[in-house]
């Protein structure tokens, strides 16, 4: 099976590409390398990807060339994270929504067998922690990033109902963990780095709920959807993660403090993230038999070794946006 991964040189795309190659898939990557992540492409070539196309997902001709002869598309290309999206709102709508519509249209025109769209549990936004939300919602996106993900879902699923587009939307929990393209601006990754370097962690708010998932498990979920019977995934939304991996942010910081002794944890109210949601992952477990294999503490222990091996963690290539200072 030949699989195209848009954004395949990114944080999750590169992990997924690596896993699929290991599992015997042919993998083609389309990425514009906006974070100068050429080093990721070289690493993926060493792992055996079929080919790499440098290009913009907003370019229809580039997309058509990238989709030539593919059996499936994993559409991950996006501006990721509320800060960078808020800084570039017009570009965000173009990349995250308009380009996604074009990907869906081309998949239909080119008769691609399966399209998997990378959405996010951030679409649940501000529901709070009083309920555990499933795929039925409610959705209360608080950021432009989340709104573009929800808009894209609605377009693709509408096209599935009306035209038979074989699409599955994955609302993935908040990722953490190793990658060929590390990101040290994500909550858990940042906590581990700050604990290692400064022996202190600053938590903004701390009472917010969030589901977390290791990068390896996220890649496994994409493989599971590629291999599932069409009737179980086409036109469907799946939350991706584990119900037992919902935590308050302060709880995550405390686990990091247990793994890395002698860390001071400080709670601040400025820059507080207003998103708070607990998510059920029962559907993907029951329908696809998918369960995560890495629990939080194990993932953090692994992450410590990974971050310690990064030569210059302050290098801007490891950040989509600078963390609050």
215 C-beta neighbours (distance < 10 Å), count: 26
Question: Residues 218, 30, 112, 282: what is their CA dihedral angle, to the nearest 10 degrees?
Answer: 10
How do residues 199-236 score in pLDDT, each as one tens digit?
A: 999 998 899 999 999 999 999 999 999 999 999 999 99
Cα gap 322→83, rounded to integer Å: 9
Predicted confidence at residue 128, as pLDDT, reads 84
- Per-block average pLDDT, block size 10, for the chain (325 residues)? 97 98 98 94 96 97 97 97 88 97 98 98 90 95 96 98 98 97 94 95 93 98 98 98 97 97 90 88 98 97 96 89 59
| pTM of the predicted model as reported, rounded to 2 decimal places | 0.96
Predicted confidence at residue 323, as pLDDT, reads 57
Predicted confidence at residue 48, as pLDDT, reads 97
Q: How is residue 298 written in tokens? A: 């194990």
Identify the three-state secondary structure at position 264: strand
Predicted confidence at residue 139, as pLDDT, reads 96
Q: List the beta bridge partners of residue 116.
A: 74, 168
For residue 277, what are the CA distances in angstroms to 19, 128, 175, 214? 29, 5, 15, 18
- List, in sequence order, the alpha helices (H) in the chain: 11-22, 38-47, 60-67, 82-87, 89-92, 99-109, 144-163, 187-198, 215-227, 230-233, 249-259, 282-288, 296-308
Domains of the chain: 2-175+213-240 (3.40.50.720), 183-212+245-274+294-318 (3.90.25.10)
Predicted confidence at residue 81, as pLDDT, reads 82
Predicted confidence at residue 20, as pLDDT, reads 98
Predicted confidence at residue 322, as pLDDT, reads 62
């Amino acid at each position: 099976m030949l699989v195209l991964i848009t954004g395949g040189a990114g944080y999750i795309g590169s992990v997924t590409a690596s896993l699929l190659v290991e599992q015997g898939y042919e993998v083609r990557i389309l990425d514009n390398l906006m974070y100068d992540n050429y080093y990721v492409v070289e690493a993926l070539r060493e792992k055996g990807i079929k080919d790499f196309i440098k290009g913009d997902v907003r370019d229809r001709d580039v997309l058509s060339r990238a989709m030539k002869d593919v059996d499936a598309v994993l559409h991950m290309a996006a501006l990721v994270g509320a800060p960078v999206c808020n800084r570039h709102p017009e570009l965000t709508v173009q990349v995250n929504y308009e380009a996604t519509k074009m990907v869906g249209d081309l998949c239909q025109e080119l008769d691609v067998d399966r399209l998997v769209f990378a959405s996010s549990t951030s679409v649940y936004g501000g529901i709070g922690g009083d309920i555990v939300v499933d795929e039925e919602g409610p959705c209360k996106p608080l950021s432009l990033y989340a709104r573009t993900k929800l808009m894209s879902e609605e377009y693709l699923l509408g096209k599935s109902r009306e035209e038979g587009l074989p699409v599955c939307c994955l609302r993935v929990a908040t990722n953490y963990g190793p990658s060929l393209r590390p990101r040290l601006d994500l909550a858990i990754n940042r906590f581990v780095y700050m604990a290692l370097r400064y022996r202190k962690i600053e938590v903004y708010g701390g009472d917010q709920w969030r589901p977390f998932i290791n990068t390896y498990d996220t890649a496994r979920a994409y493989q599971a959807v590629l291999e599932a019977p069409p009737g179980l995934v086409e036109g469907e939304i799946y939350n991706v993660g584990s119900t037992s991996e919902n935590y308050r942010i302060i709880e995550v910081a405390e686990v990091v403090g247990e793994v890395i002794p002698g860390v001071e944890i400080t709670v601040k109210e400025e820059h507080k993230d207003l998103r708070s949601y607990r998510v059920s992952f029962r559907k993907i477990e029951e329908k696809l038999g998918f369960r995560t294999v890495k629990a939080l503490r194990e993932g953090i222990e692994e992450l410590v070794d990974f971050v310690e091996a990064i030569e210059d963690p302050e290098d801007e290539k490891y950040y989509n946006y600078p963390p609050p200072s």
